[in-house]
């Protein structure tokens, strides 16, 4: 059985809380009929199986705790909390889980490996171990000022792990970045709300958010 997981760390600018975890899980229950276990790594109460975060790594650095040794048995599919599953993803998940490689979503606007969606099967604890060994270096090298936009946890992961792209195993329109301007999302199955000013919580007027973020 596949493990589907997310990370919630209390605080922050966007205002993530346990309701975001519940809405992500609900959207999966509506759109994924393949059996799965749902987990959240968190430092606060959540409405699902909770894996406690260690007191290491603030902000997006906490996401690297996904790779702590022994957390999961079997394949793992990760989604950021600012993701909406808006149509059935059975085919996508089947395509992904047929791969025997680490997968990341490739951000089409910046041509960067993104940790917004990831898939892996096996022990990748060396990622977290390396981060702990070189914490100061990684957090300095991959800070917001990085000239190549290599920033945060996804920069560490993509640098350390040989990976393929989820985009290569599905039609491009299945995974789209939500924009403020009007756009046809009828073929989208997953919407990523990437920017701070375009989150589901700030776009509650949008039809897609009203229909699928609940």
Domain ranges of the chain: 2-169
Return the pLDDT at 72: 97
Return the pLDDT at 87: 98
Tell me the HSE value of 178 on the side-chain side, using a 13 A CA sphere: 25
CATH match of 2-169 with 3.90.550.10: yes
Torsion of CA 204, 209, 213, 214, to 10 degrees: 70
Reading the block at residue 53, the tokens are 């975060």
The mean pLDDT of 56-70, rounded to a whole number, is 92
User: Which pLDDT band holds residue 83 (cuts at 50, 70, 90)?
Assistant: very high
Residue 6, strand partner residues: 40
SS3 62: helix
Cβ proximity of 118 and 96 under 8 Å: no
The mean pLDDT of 107-130, rounded to a whole number, is 95
Given CA atoms 93, 97, 102, 108 in this order, what sign does their dihedral have? Answer: negative
Residue 139 gets which letter from DSSP? H
Whole-angstrom Cα distance, residue 194 to residue 175? 12
| Average pLDDT value for the chain | 94
User: Which pLDDT band holds residue 154 (cuts at 50, 70, 90)?
Assistant: very high
Return the pLDDT at 107: 93
The mean pLDDT of 40-65, rounded to a whole number, is 93
Return the pLDDT at 15: 87
Taking residue 77's Cβ as centre, other Cβ atoms within 10 Å add up to: 23
Return the pLDDT at 146: 78
User: Which pLDDT band holds residue 14 (cuts at 50, 70, 90)?
Assistant: confident
């Amino acid at each position: 059985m596949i493990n589907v997981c997310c990370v919630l760390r209390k605080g922050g600018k966007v205002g993530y809380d346990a309701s975001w975890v519940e809405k992500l899980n609900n959207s999966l229950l509506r759109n994924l009929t393949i059996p799965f276990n749902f987990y959240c790594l968190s430092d606060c109460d959540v409405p699902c199986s909770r894996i406690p975060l260690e007191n290491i790594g603030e902000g997006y650095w906490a996401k690297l705790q996904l790779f702590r040794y022994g957390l999961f048995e079997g394949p793992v599919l990760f989604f950021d909390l600012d993701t909406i599953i808006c149509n059935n993803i059975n085919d996508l998940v089947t395509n992904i889980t047929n791969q025997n490689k680490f997968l990341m979503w490739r951000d089409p606007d910046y041509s960067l490996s993104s940790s917004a969606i990831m898939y892996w099967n096996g022990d990748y604890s060396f990622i977290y171990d390396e981060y702990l060994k070189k914490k100061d270096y990684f957090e300095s090298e991959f800070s917001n000022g990085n000239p190549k936009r290599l920033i945060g946890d996804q920069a560490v992961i993509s640098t350390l792990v040989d990976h393929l792209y989820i985009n290569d195993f599905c039609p491009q329109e299945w995974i789209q970045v939500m924009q403020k301007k009007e756009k046809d999302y009828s073929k989208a199955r997953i919407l990523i709300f990437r920017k701070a000013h375009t989150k589901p919580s700030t776009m509650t007027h949008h039809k897609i958010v009203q229909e699928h973020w609940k």
